[in-house]
Amino acid sequence: MKNFQVGLFDTYRCDRTINLGISLKNMSNALKCANNDDGCMIKYEENEGDSITFTFTDTKRDKTQDVTVKMMDIDGEHLGIPDQDYAVVCEMPAAEFQKTCKDLAMFSDSLNITATKSGIVFSGKGDSGGINVTYAPNSNADDEKESVSLEVNEPVNVNFSIKYMNSFTKATTLSSRVRISLSNDVPIVIEYPIEEAGYLRFYLAPKIDDEDNME
């Protein structure tokens, strides 16, 4: 989930709250039609059907492009994720979290996260070996951007797909910090704050071991 602050836009108008679904691939194709210096206007009007229009303006060439993208029906796919208090909230350097996930992927398909008041542990093991990476909270670090803060209301021990986690860490280029919120048996939240723009937030459900599904 991406959240943009209204102040990021030169002009912003939204008459009512509305959910619009669009394929990321189709949106990416639309944005590829623009030049780096183009202005961009995104418009949706209910009386104009099931499409979103991207208008790219090149003032140097007096050029305007209108790219129309069909929307997706997301009613059946929408998963509501209610706000909640998490058992563990960890903030750390985004680059450090990315490296940890890459290292774990060399040994395992799964990422295990355990957290107590003494620290947070990222671990994984497979046929070739295993790895444990432990971070103790050091919120008093000299460089605030390098600090690791940890709030633990109750211990957590949960597993996730390392493949998807590595995909999320591609957002490291957008932010120097990452906020990880988790509890047992609920989706983890990986949030990248973007200065003056908002945030990029990913949700991932825990992995369920095969043996847990056996009667």
When pLDDT is averaged across residues 124-146 and rounded to a whole number, the result is 85
When pLDDT is averaged across residues 196-201 and rounded to a whole number, the result is 82
- CA distances (Å), origin 142, targets 92, 98, 138, 147, 212: 14, 22, 9, 8, 45
Is pLDDT of 142 > 60? Answer: yes
Instruction: Output b/e per residue, 2-20; b: 16+ Cβ within 10 A.
Output: eeeeeeeeeeeeeeeeeee
Is pLDDT of 123 > 90? Answer: yes
Amino acid at 130: G
Return the CATH architecture of domain 88-213. Answer: Box (3.70)
If pLDDT is split at 50, 70 and 90, which confidence band does 73 have? confident
Residue 72: per-residue pLDDT:
83
When pLDDT is averaged across residues 12-34 and rounded to a whole number, the result is 85
Instruction: Indicate the range of 21-30, 54-63, 96-105 predicted with least confidence.
Output: 21-30
Residue 90: per-residue pLDDT:
97
To the nearest whole number, what is the mean pLDDT of the chain?
87
When pLDDT is averaged across residues 15-21 and rounded to a whole number, the result is 82
Residue 211: per-residue pLDDT:
44
Instruction: Indicate the range of 102-106, 118-122, 132-136, 195-199 predicted with least confidence.
Output: 195-199
Closest CA to 155 of 124, 180, 118: 118
Is pLDDT of 196 > 80? Answer: no
pTM: 0.73
Domains of the chain, residue spans? 20-70, 88-213
Task: Quote the percentage of the chain above a pLDDT of 90.
Answer: 58
Residue 212: per-residue pLDDT:
45
Q: Output Rg (C-alpha) for the chain, integer angstroms.
A: 21
